A and B are shown apart, each in its own frame.
Chain A
Amino acid sequence: MNVLEIKQLTKKFNHFIAVDGVSFSIAEGEIFGLLGANGAGKSTAIYMIAGLLKITKGEIKLLGKDIKKNSKFAKMNIGFVPQDIAIYEDLTAFENVKFFAGLYGLRGEELNQKVTEALAFVGLGDKEKSYPKRFSGGMKRRLNIACAIAHKPKLIIMDEPTVGIDPQSRKHILESVKKLNETGCTIIYTSHYMEEVEAICTKIAIIDHGKVIAEGTKEQLKTLITDTKDIWIEVKNSDDIDLEELKNIKGIRAVQLVNHTIQIHSDAEVNNLNDIILHFMKMNIEIRSLKENAPNLESVFLTLTGRNLRD
């Protein structure tokens, strides 16, 4: 069952085409990462999914229903964590969450209970009565998330939820994203931090100039670019190394010795680092340094779009 299905989604601002015929679908239980440089069209696409921006052309279906025709249904089932923190500094943390959850029609005892749950979930259970004025950036971010999840939406959209916060809060947020996912939420996650996306997303789409140029799991994206990796091992004494025997280790395609460095060219898919190190240990060869040059999301992004994520 697809939670979200997007077909030929297009947004034009006068002549400027911000989103150009984007199509993808997100299955239930996915953490879907959207990668794109500034101005690539990520936020525009997200705003259209969240119903905050009119669609120029195309179709968005949430749980099989067109969000244009079922806007109330869509709003009840989407939780949106915006990039710019949207909380009231003059209300307590509890009142903030209560206000936003109340907008979704929750009332009375149920409302209070869900607000408490949401605050506890983001780790602000003991700060119910505090005012966000005194919160750190990370705590504000977490409160921002609590506001979006109290009404238990099926789909949560997080637009750069880790911008400008301390490492501890970031860790907490990433963990809560995973926890939310485990409770059955489907999540759309955008970030400038490639390593976050690589760590938590089960599926990733790369957007550039309003178009999805690649989509898939991180392994699939990496194989688009290359299916090999290079491992460089510098040793103290390279005289009695048997290169031929190294080649027998699974996945290794070629080996050569340059000065005191053994350069190994291997299949990227095979994890053979242990076997290689073990081989050196058995031969009693002292390893000085080891460098693995495997494809990562950063290099995939750079190769496909010709630019860095953070320009």
Chain B
Amino acid sequence: MEKWLLASKFALVGYVALTLLDGQNPSVILLFCLLYICSNLAINIFHQSIFKQIMSLVTVVLVIVATSYVDPVFILLLPLNIGEWINRWTGHYLLPMVMVFLPVLLIGIELQVLYGVIAAISLIQVFMVSQFSKKVSYLEKNEDEMRHSINRLTKALNENKEYNRQLEYTIKLEERNRVSQEIHDQIGHNMAGALIQMEAAKRLIESDQAKAVELLQNAIHISSDGIESIRLTLKNLKPKTEQMGVHRLKLIIDDFIVKHGLSTTFLYKGNIDLITPIQWKIIFENVTESLTNAIKYSDATNIHVDIHVLNQIIKIVIKDNGRGSLGYTKGLGIAGMEERAASVNGKVIVDGSDGFAVTTLLPLAN
């Protein structure tokens, strides 16, 4: 947009040069015109705003000198420069308007009309340019912030993916370990025992048939025990929901402690088995949300997570010892927790009077 201003200035200086060059002292007029062009170019070349302002001032002085010593027509160049300078300096609109129209009183009557027209056009241009440059810088800032947050989110997403991948791998490994251990401890021994008995029976089958039958019977017993333990092992592969729930919550909390180094304690009381998977999901999400909020706002040094299964109700409390908040605004986070709880007829109570405590009450399914 500054180019627009520059073009207007050159048009004006061209006009001034054309009107004056056929008079006397064309070389002096040309000199001032060229000086004017130079100083205006300099305004655009500098990047720091202090130099820009100095050059604007120099140009204004130059125009005033030219007006007073060479030819009054030079005053026509003044409005654009004075408007630009004061607007850049103060950011105001009223002050440049006054300053631009002030010289009208000082100049000869023959120039007044022309000056007035040029001054008005110049002011409009200056204001438009200032508006546009403000908008542009605002948009640039916005874009910058968005780029930053995209970067941050991409990073978080990648970290999360990596974490999930590792978690999956660890869990698979653990599970394989458990199965192989169990097979080794139980079924392996059983099969080995049965095998030995059968080998013995094979040798004895000619000489002592009764003994061989007895040994085979043993082997049959051992084998059927082995089948039973295979069945049990497979059954145990399917974990109970209770284990999934508490263990996953512990994992979430441990992970939080590692990431943020904030001491977090977890206690549960009552019959945890009664919590359904859908309720566990709500508990995970509300706990995660509350922990994140604590990190963001609370300045806490300790967080306590408490699950209490009562007769007909589950109470989940996440409480920190931070600065609390009495006039908190209900943002997306708290509204989300309320919605999730409401989906199973539960309630969320937020208390910011002593640290920050979020209590979720969920009715137990009958």
Which residues of A pack against B, CB within 8 Å?
14-17, 208-209, 211-214, 223-227, 303-306
Contact = CB atoms under 8 A, between A and B. Distances in A.
Contacts, number: 43
Contact of A225 (B310, B329, B350, B359): B310
Nearest to B364: A224
Given A16-B326, A16-B327, 17 more contacts: A14-B327, A15-B327, A15-B328, A15-B329, A208-B349, A211-B347, A212-B347, A213-B349, A213-B361, A214-B313, A224-B313, A225-B313, A226-B311, A304-B313, A304-B315, A305-B359, A306-B317
7 contacts: A209-B349, A211-B347, A212-B347, A224-B311, A226-B310, A304-B313, A305-B349
A306 B359 contact: yes
A69 B107 CA distance: 72
Contacts of A212: 347
Please report whether the interface of chain B is mostly helix, strand, loop or mixed according to DSSP: strand
A306 B354 CA distance: 12
A165 to B, nearest CB: 30
B225 interface: no
Interface residues of B, number: 19
A291 B295 CA distance: 46
Nearest to B354: A307
Given A15-B329, A306-B359, A211 B349 contact: yes
Contact of B350 (A209, A213, A306): A209
Contact of A303 (B310, B327, B349): B310
Nearest to A212: B347
B311 to A, nearest CB: 5
A223 B312 contact: yes
Interface in B344-363: 347, 349-351, 357, 359, 361
A224 B326 CA distance: 29
B47 interface: no
B3 interface: no
Nearest to B310: A225
Contact of A306 (B311, B312, B327, B357): B357
B50 to A, nearest CB: 43
